[in-house]
Amino acid sequence: MLRFLVSLSVLLSYFRCCFSAASVVTCSGIVPMRYRNDKISIADFGGVGDGMTLNTKAFREAIYRIEHLKRRGGTLLYIPPGVYLTGSFNLTSHMTLYLARGAVIKATQMRRVGRVVDSEPFNCTDTNNWPLIPPLPSYGRGRERPGDRYMSFLHGDGLHDVVITGENGTIDGQGDIWWNMWRQRTLQFTRPNLIEFLNSKNIIISNVIFRNSPFWNIHPVYCSHVVIRYVTILAPADSPNTDGIDPDSSSNVCIEDSYISVGDDLVAVKSGWDEYGIAYGRPSSDITIRRVTGSSPFSGIAVGSETSGGVENILAEHINLFNMGVGIHVKTNIGRGGFIRNITVSDVYMENVRKGIKVAGDVGDHPDDKYNPNALPIMKGLTIKNVWGVKVQQAGSIQGLKNSPFTGICLSDINLHGVTAPLSPPLKCSDVTGTAFKVNPGACSELTSSEHTGSCSDYS
């Protein structure tokens, strides 16, 4: 009898395992996971994880070794438990950066911290550890200050086959000094991203914790085939511009199973701004955002406001948002040009939110006054379905542009409950067309009610 019960429970757990494994939908297969035979440790290069020693030289030498020895199948760089203080460094192709449980790669701040073992010049006021790089062509300048911008803490330009993973070790940007410079308006250049990949492909970032980025956390720009999974991204709610993940002029990006609690948008899909983004003309497309949970005083799932290269074929589903500014936010501006089309957001739970949904054609600032005011964005095909909200202060607004109405909006099965009343105050719309079905608290009259479901898919 006992034997029978034991084998029954084994059988049941087998079914539980394999049933759930089979039913989990994932896009992570767009980049194959790589296993590397060649392994080195940062300790082999003099890396010391005491939280005080500066390890910039160790990281740069380890990566130089990977880049120049070119071992077949690439090389894994192991970061043992400990706190490794370092200046920013470049990654290279065919590498895995593996952070053990308890490993922390910690950015130097703009002042001298601890004992300095590197021979490089390093003093209280300089920014040697934060090199400057040119602006992105689709931005024409730094995102927040004109001219150059600080290179991201971890940086990759023109790479392929890079994995950043491990046992949930931490990449810590020590952003507070940068946030204070922003608050005091003493920044000369645009703050660094925590990690930026430019012109790269086949990138995997998984099982890592990102903390206190000076600016945006993860920024893939002009990239394709990027998988970001099982990451945790944390920054205080009042930290300025600490967006979680910003796919920018990038295609085939898969973001799944992550928790993001930051001071700005959790995920924002972008593609450059105004005359620079229009001239560069590189869209963001084929991006999946799935099973993401988080909170922020700004937006949960965002498109824009930088969309001048175009944004299309975006799917966000199974999203849980708590204590948010705006749940779903599609934003662009006059002078942006570009297009936003075929965007689907579905199966969203939101709780304690200022605005459930906001679609706006006139938000965000401009790089300079040379933008073309006749460059109007085109928005066509936005489906939002299966949304359940509680404590939603306002359902929100859907506002196109008078000379470029937003078309193909389709809302269905949306229930937004209010804070004091059973339902939130209803949606406000202008310059939009589309359909609505089962929307509580009622859709605006601009969206015609549709009695048949499935009509959302036709956005043309």
Mark the segment that binds ligand NAG (CB under 6 A) among 92-100, 125-133, 354-362, 418-426. Answer: 125-133
Farthest CA pair distance, the chain: 81
Q: What is the torsional sign of CA 184, 187, 190, 194?
A: negative
**In the bound complex, what is the minimum distance in angstroms from residue 239's beta carbon to ligand NAG?**
21
Residue 155 binds ligand NAG (CB under 6 A):
yes
Q: Is 133 in the site for ligand NAG (CB under 6 A)?
A: yes
Q: Is 168 in the site for ligand NAG (CB under 6 A)?
A: yes
Q: Which stretch binds ligand NAG (CB under 6 A): 45-53, 185-193, 312-320, 361-369?
A: 312-320
Residue 108 in the binding site for ligand NAG (CB under 6 A): no
Cβ proximity to ligand NAG: between 130 and 371 the closer is: 130
Which is nearer to ligand NAG, 266 or 334 (by Cβ)?
266
Letters for 217-256 (x = contact with ligand NAG by CB under 6 A, - = none) are -------------x-x------------------------
CA R_g for the chain: 23
* Residue 282 lies near ligand NAG (rule: CB under 6 A): no
Residue 288 Cβ, how far from ligand NAG at the closest point, in Å?
Answer: 7
- Residue type for 376, please? L
The encoded tokens of residue 100 equal 């053990």
**Which of 313, 323, 346, 440 is the binder for ligand NAG (CB under 6 A)?**
313
Residues numbered 35 to 94 that lie near ligand NAG (CB under 6 A) are: 60, 90
Q: Is 193 in the site for ligand NAG (CB under 6 A)?
A: no
Q: Can you read off the two tokens belonging to residue 245?
A: 């993940």
**First vs last C-alpha separation in the chain:** 63
Q: How many residues bind ligand NAG (CB under 6 A)?
A: 20
Minimum gap (Å) between residue 393 Cβ and ligand NAG: 29
Catalytic member of 118, 243, 246, 264: 264
* Residues 321-360, mask of contacts with ligand NAG (x by CB under 6 A): ---------------------x-x----------------
In the residue annotation, 126 being an active-site residue is answered as no
Contact call for residue 126 and ligand NAG (CB under 6 A): yes
Q: Which residue's beta carbon is nearest to the bound ligand NAG?
A: 315
Q: Which of 157, 347, 351, 413 binds ligand NAG (CB under 6 A)?
A: 157
CB 95 within 8 A of CB 162: yes
Q: Rounded to an integer, what distance in angstroms lies between the CA atom of residue 307 and that of residue 343?
A: 13
- Listed as own residue / partner, the contacts of 61-65 with beta carbons closer than 8 Å and 24 or more positions apart are 63/89, 63/90, 63/91, 63/92, 63/95, 65/40
Question: Does 422 help bind ligand NAG (rule: CB under 6 A)?
Answer: no
CA atoms within 13 A on the CB side of 204: 22
Give the C-alpha separation, 343 to 288, whole Å. 10
Q: How far is the CB of 388 from ligand NAG (least distance, A)?
A: 21
Among 28, 152, 207, 332, binds ligand NAG (CB under 6 A): 207
Residues that bind ligand NAG (CB under 6 A): 60, 90, 121, 123-126, 133, 155, 157, 167-168, 207, 230, 232, 313-315, 342, 344
Active site (catalytic) residues: 264
